[in-house]
Structures are given as structure tokens and as C-alpha cells.
Structure 1
Amino acid sequence: MSGDERSGAKSVDPEQLWLRPAEPRRGRRPSFSRETITAAAVAVADAEGLDAVTMRRVAAEVGAGVMSLYSYAPDKETLLALMVDHVSGELRITDPPSGDWRADLKTVAHLQRAHMLRHPWLPAALTTRHVPGPNTLAFLERVLAVLRPTGLDGAAKLEIFAQITAFVAGHVAHEIAQAAASRSPDRAAAEARYLAAVAADGCHPELAEALSAPGRPLTPDATFTRFLNRLIDGLDTG
């Protein structure tokens, strides 16, 4: 979904979107639904990225006229909100909270990471403010239950949820970019030579020391877990 297409969109009306039936405004009942439209948009985004998601493309995917889609998603921001909430239905915490909120919160973060890797467009989509839909609210409800043992007030618990989600989204975006860069061996070799030269120039002693330290496992899973542990273990609940 390109930036120029979204630029003229109005803000999403959460009452209209989430509290009222998704029925067409006029005319005969079509052979598709808001769920069908949203699923088609998600499939396009999964395969080709957000820029490929246009109303015209989604209409072609469901076999509808472009104008008929506006009865269900009146603008691109609404469609994006529907897409985010649609895939949020995959986020399911099946086990009750263990009472160890840090361990449970790490489980939540790993679940979010796997979810965003399945839908690589999500980190970018989450940078746009959305009023959460029913699937997102169901997931948030479970996370707030995980945080109950902290004794924090509601605002602080919501902040922790936002903090962890932002961390995961940023990490996954970086992870995807790094994976793309690693497919270019020449670029990776050039970066390694550059850092080695900088470390040896005598002007960056702290960097030289850091680069000479024993390496840690650099697999994506190990790196994410290491960063996540530092974040959650350091959360202050005082």
C-alpha cells in the first residue's frame, strides 16, 4: 500500500469499523464479505509487501469492482486496520499465566516475533496508529493478565505491552533487513573489511575493544533471545 495512496485517507472511525455490522451500504448483496476482502489483502501483503496492496489489486483478487470495496473498507487506512486485526487472530496464548510474569512476557514476545516473521509487512503497519479491533483486544487482555502479578497500575501495564511490541517490531524489521543483506556476500565482506579498518585506525578504541571481544551466537533466535532477556529482566516495577 503506497504512501501516496494512504496520504489522502481519513482517520479510521473505530465505532464504525468495529461496533457496526460490515454490511454494504446499498445495492444487492455481493458474493464477497469484509472478511474475504481483508484476507485477500493480507495474502497480497504476505507475498509482495504493503506497497502491492491497493484497492484495485484487492478488488481483482476477490473478483469485484473497485467501488464496491469501499462499502466495506472506505479508505486504505481502514483496510490496513482490518488487516492488522485479521492476522492478530493468530496470536493465541493458550496456557494460563504461570505467575512468573517475566517468563510469561518472554513467551509473549517470542510469539509476537514468530507472528511478524510470518507477516513481514506487520512491523511497518504497526507504526501507524490503529484503534485495536476484537482480535487485538483479545490478545491484549491475555497479556494484561500475564502482567497482573507485577502490581503495576493499568497505564503502566499498557506501556509495557507497547514497549515489548515496539521492541519486537523493530527487531523483526532489522532481522528481515539483515537476512536480505546476507544474501549479498560481496556486501557482507565489504562491511567486515570496513569495520576492521575502522577498528585499526586508532581513533575508535572503544569500538576496537568491543569488536575484539569473544563472539556470541549470532543465529537470529539466539540474538533475539539475548536482547529480549536484557529488556524484560531490566524492567522496573517499583
Structure 2
Amino acid sequence: MPHDEGAGAAGVDFEQLWLRPTEPRRGRRPSFSREAITAAAVSLADAEGLEAVTMRRVAAQVGAGVMSLYSYAPDKETLLELMVDHVSGELTFTDPPSGEWRADLKSVAHLQRAHMLRHPWLPAALSTRRVPGPNTLAFLERVLSVLRPTGLDGAAKLEVFAQLTAFVAGHVAHEIAQAAVSQFPDRAAAEARYLAGVAADGCHPELAEALSAPGRTLTPEATFTRFLNRLIDGLDTDATHL
């Protein structure tokens, strides 16, 4: 029987998923492709969020019976693996690394941010461990090549990649949440009044000083760039500190 749709990643057969992708797990070969199933699931998630992605909804999208989907996607966790790798195919580069690894890494992060904003479900999907498929591996290979001039060892390079991806995912999740809150200007005004009151109470001098500092450009792009610069410009590549 297929796994429950909420099954954990422990139930995913990664060798079957990535090394033998054309072999159905059981039964007759379906009349539709794994690509079509994955694309339908991505379309649903883009439009309605991950909660909308159920085997029943995806089956309806491709015009198939629910049970027939299990040949290639035996549970929702496997489907999520397919979805993440599917959209990772969009992470492409036209030029080779420049050799200026900090600048190149910042370009990678901006590419990731745009990618996650196109697919707002991605930060949540990436919050649990994913085993990279072919598209994700191609992107990882590029990032590792960007980091070659640092002289970091392989484990440290993988840690930098994980740190960068986690930063972008967390920032995008916050950015999406803030965009939703901005639709309620009364709430933003109430928050501003509250913080002004706190700053004036004499009990929070550090906060009062911080809030009195000159304002900065608060567009999402500018804010992301400032945070990203602090992260990457502060990366320590001294092997003695690792």
C-alpha cells in the first residue's frame, strides 16, 4: 500500500527516485509521465500553497486516478522531493564564475531569492532535509565551483552552501509574511506607536538609540542586499578558525 501523505522522509527510496527514475515502483506503466505529475504539483503549490498539494488534487490535474500516481510518487514526501528538484532546474547561469567568490556568491543568493519568490512554498519545503536530485546537484556543483578560490575544504564549502540557502529561505519567508502584513496599514501604524512608546519610557536606552538612527531604504531588495552583504563579507575562510 502507498505511504500516508504525511509520511516522513525516512520512507523515501532515494535510489529509486533519482537513480532509476523511469522505472515505475509497481503495477502497469502509467499513461502520463513523472514530469507531468511534478509540474502539476508545482502549479498547485504556486497558486495555493503546499497545503493544496494532495495526491487527489494532483491526480485531477493530470486527469488520472489517484492510485495510478503511486507508481512514481508513492507519498507526498516523495512528491515534495520531485517538486524541489523540478524547480531547481530554473537555477541556471549564463556565465562561468568570475573568480571573485564573494561577488559570485552574492549573485547566487540573489538568484535563489528570486527563485523562492516565484515559488513561495519553497522555504517551507526546504525546512526539512532534502536529498538533491539532478537539477539540485547541478546548482550545488556551480556553488562549489564559486567557492573554489576560498581554499576551504569540501565540508566547509558544503556548510557555506547550507548557511546561504538557509539565510535566503528564512529571509524570503519573512519577506512574504511582511508583505501579507503590509496589507493592513492600521496594524503597521499601531506597531509604530507602540515602539515609539517603548523607546520613550526610559527603560530601553539601547533600543531608543537604535530607533533614533537615520532611516535606511526599506525596499525588500535593498533590505535583502544589506543583510546578504553582512553575511558574505563576514565569512571567515581562514582554515585555522574552522
Q: How many residues align?
A: 235
The amino acid that maps onto 2:111 is L
Instruction: Tell me which residue corresponds to 1:190.
Output: 190
The change in CA–CA distance for 1:5 and 1:21 in structure 2 (over 3 A counts) is: closer
Aligned partners of 2:113 and 2:235: how far apart in 1? 19
The change in CA–CA distance for 1:9 and 1:143 in structure 2 (over 3 A counts) is: closer
Matched residue of 1:6: which SS? Answer: coil
Does 196-205 or 97-106 show the bigger shift? 196-205
Q: Which deviations, in whole Å up to 9, do the C-alpha atoms of 1:127-183 show, x marking residues without a partner?
A: 111110000000000110000000010000000000000000000000000000001
Aligned partners of 1:199 and 1:7: how far apart in 2? 48
Instruction: Tell me which residue corresponds to 1:236.
Output: 236
| Residue 202 (structure 1) shift | 1.0
Q: Which deviations, in whole Å up to 9, do the C-alpha atoms of 1:52-96 show, x marking residues without a partner?
A: 000000001101100100101011110000000000000012211
| Residue 25 (structure 1) shift | 4.2
The amino acid that maps onto 1:11 is G
1:73 pairs with 2:73? yes
User: Within 5 A, what are the aligned runs for 1:3-42?
Assistant: 5-7=5-7, 10-42=10-42
Whether the aligned pair in 1 keeps the contact of 2:91 and 2:111 (CA below 8 Å) is yes
| Residue 26 (structure 1) shift | 4.9
Aligned partners of 1:84 and 1:140: how far apart in 2? 13
- Normalization by structure 1: what TM-score? 0.95
Structure 2 residue runs of 5 or longer lacking an equivalent are none
- Normalization by structure 2: what TM-score? 0.94
1:207 pairs with 2:211? no
The amino acid that maps onto 2:148 is R
The amino acid that maps onto 2:140 is L
User: Within 5 A, what are the aligned runs for 1:1-238?
Assistant: 5-7=5-7, 10-238=10-238
Aligned partners of 1:118 and 1:5: how far apart in 2? 25
| Residue 7 (structure 1) shift | 4.3
* C-alpha RMSD over aligned residues: 1.4
Does 57-66 or 10-19 show the bigger shift? 10-19
| Residue 6 (structure 1) shift | 1.4
Aligned partners of 1:176 and 1:106: how far apart in 2? 21
The change in CA–CA distance for 1:33 and 1:133 in structure 2 (over 3 A counts) is: same
The amino acid that maps onto 2:142 is R
The amino acid that maps onto 1:65 is G
Structure 1 residue runs of 5 or longer lacking an equivalent are none
Aligned partners of 1:42 and 1:204: how far apart in 2? 47
Matched residue of 1:102: which SS? Answer: helix
The change in CA–CA distance for 1:134 and 1:8 in structure 2 (over 3 A counts) is: closer
Quote the sequence identity (%): 88
Q: Which deviations, in whole Å up to 9, do the C-alpha atoms of 1:12-32 show, x marking residues without a partner?
A: 221111000333345544331
Aligned partners of 1:49 and 1:21: how far apart in 2? 26
Aligned partners of 1:182 and 1:25: how far apart in 2? 47
Aligned partners of 1:129 and 1:103: how far apart in 2? 27
Q: Give the 4+ runs in structure 1 shifted more than 4 A.
A: 7-10, 25-28
Aligned partners of 1:217 and 1:164: how far apart in 2? 23
